[in-house]
Amino acid sequence: MTTYNWGIIGTGRIADYFAEVFPTSQHLYGVAAHKDDGRAAAFAAKHKVAHAYPDYASLLADPAIDIVYVATTHNFHYDNIKAALNAGKHVLAEKAITLNEAQLDELVLLAAQRRLILMEAQTIYHMPLYHALDEFKAAHQLGRPKMIQVAFGTHVPNDPEDRLLNPQLAGGAMLDIGIYALSFARRFMTESPTLLATQMVPTATGVDDRSSLLLTTAHQEQAQIALALQTNLPNRGVVAYENGYLTITDYGRATTAIFTGLDGKNQEIEAGDNSLAFVYEIEDMANAVTTGSDPTLRWTRDTMTIITAARRAWGVTYPDETDL
């Protein structure tokens, strides 16, 4: 595997964990924080990163950096990714990759024009279990899925300043947890889905709390999705085929799936290590840069199309968002 120099934009919790598990096959070269007050230097010291930059622009201007990991909040992703691409850097960006489809389309075009890789750091697209399930489906000739049911619910304290409830930070269930449920459904669907119907109940701050979505494809593969930001739900996905169904619990970083056949017997499929979720993303990104091809981009684009359609139906926009 080719070794690349990586830079991190953002020094929050997810960046901290990213640096903790960063694999030796790659080189974590530098870090920058927004409106830095010593955070980048403290982060670099903690994780033994050689270079701490005074701002994002300085990091992006360093020709030594090949790949930038964008670990900022959702509302900053578009600007951060665009700046990195314009600086000639490949980008691995946290999910949801952008706020809406128009932003993503612009960035995908820019990346293509500059022959750069833009990849979403979506664990579902990189965990080995899902590759193992592809092989299982082929070996057992499961064909197209008939029905997918997927839920994700959590319990965020009712604090209007919380990132997940704050519209200024592009909060809400869809962009934070819904991206997992939609990515799960898209990972199993054999073609691009469309949104048939959706309903949403907002939080007191106006961002989406509880919602349900119904998706379908040209071959009538259906997906039912349930999301909740302030109500716990079992984070579980079920994918039903003609001859049985798969059940994946805690599917974001799952390492085990259960296939239940028509006879009611269960078969366990195992692959991967959930503590290495970021490592799989990082190594897949490095391989994509080396090959010049990202096999996950089509899923990211289809998922963002559904997110945008749902938010339009709900009438939910964020401050200064003019392109929904």
**Encoded tokens for 283:** 């190594």
User: Where do we find the tokens 């799952």?
Assistant: 254
- Predicted TM-score (pTM) of the model is 0.95
- Residue 115: predicted pLDDT: 98
Residue 320 vs residue 283, higher pLDDT: 283
pLDDT band per the 50, 70, 90 thresholds, residue 37 = confident
Which domains, from first to last, does the chain contain? 5-124 (3.40.50.720), 127-278+304-314 (3.30.360.10)
DSSP string, 200-211: EEE-TTSSEEEE
- Residue 124: predicted pLDDT: 97
Q: What's the one-letter identity of residue 201? A: V
What whole-number distance in Å separates Cα of residue 71 and Cα of residue 170? Answer: 14
- Residue 187: predicted pLDDT: 98
Q: What is the pLDDT of residues 38-72, one digit of tens each?
A: 999 999 999 999 999 999 999 999 999 999 999 99
pLDDT band per the 50, 70, 90 thresholds, residue 89 = very high
Helix orientation angle between 101-113 and 74-86, rounded to the nearest 10 degrees: 20
Residue 187 CB coordination number (10 Å): 21
Of 3-7, 165-169, 271-275, give the lowest mean pLDDT range. Answer: 165-169
Q: What is the pLDDT of residues 225-246, one digit of tens each?
A: 999 999 999 999 999 999 999 9
